[in-house]
């Protein structure tokens, strides 16, 4: 896996995004997959910045990724205290529809094949499988 660490700054978060999108293109992924990865990565990076690292400029965001023509795997980690993903309310329920929390997680799960959390919620693993591979 390739690794990159960036300062806890949303403009710095563009660096790993650009590298990952370039690699997706080299591996032949189409625009739909690139869009899904871009959206999920932006959500994961924003969550790490805002919720994990609490906008603290002294902290960093850690990104690990491996991209092959068959599979995309990205891990985004923060230096925060973590959280329990199961405790995030479902943003589609009527009582939570007007709250912004949980929408990023919902979007990541909608666009990717796997979204899992580790290290007490300080790390999210994003996986997209290329279903268009010829056998």
CATH code of 21's domain: 3.30.565.10
Is it the case that residue 117 has pLDDT exceeding 50?
yes
The domain tally of the chain equals 1
The pLDDT score that the predictor gives to residue 133 is 56
84 belongs to a structural domain: yes
What number is the average pLDDT over the span 3-24?
96
16 belongs to a structural domain: yes
The pLDDT score that the predictor gives to residue 100 is 73
Comparing CA positions, the residue from 60, 26, 28, 46 lying closest to residue 130 is 28
104 belongs to a structural domain: yes
134 belongs to a structural domain: no
99 belongs to a structural domain: yes
Q: Which of 34 and 13 is assigned the larger pLDDT?
A: 34
What number is the average pLDDT over the span 128-132?
88
Q: What is the DSSP letter of 52?
A: I
Q: What is the DSSP letter of 54?
A: T
Are 76 and 63 spatial neighbours (Cβ–Cβ below 8 Å)? yes
Model confidence pLDDT, tens digit, residues 33-86: 999 999 999 999 999 999 999 999 999 999 999 999 999 999 999 999 999 988
135 belongs to a structural domain: no
Domain that holds residue 117: 2-129
Model confidence pLDDT, tens digit, residues 94-112: 888 887 778 889 999 999 9
The pLDDT score that the predictor gives to residue 135 is 45
How far is it, in rounded angstroms, from Cα 58 to Cα 43? 21
């Amino acid at each position: 896996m390739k690794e990159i660490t960036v300062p806890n700054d949303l403009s710095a978060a563009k660096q790993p995004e650009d590298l990952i999108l370039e690699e997706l293109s080299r591996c032949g992924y189409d625009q739909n997959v690139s869009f899904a990865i871009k959206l999920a990565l932006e959500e994961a990076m924003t969550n790490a910045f805002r919720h994990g690292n609490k906008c603290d400029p002294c902290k960093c965001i850690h990104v690990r990724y491996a991209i092959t023509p068959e599979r995309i795997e990205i891990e985004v980690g923060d230096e925060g205290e973590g959280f329990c993903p199961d405790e995030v309310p479902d943003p589609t329920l009527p009582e939570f529809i007007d709250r912004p929390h949980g929408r990023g997680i919902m979007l990541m799960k909608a666009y990717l094949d796997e979204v899992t959390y580790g290290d007490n919620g300080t790390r999210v693993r994003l996986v997209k499988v290329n279903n268009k591979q010829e056998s």
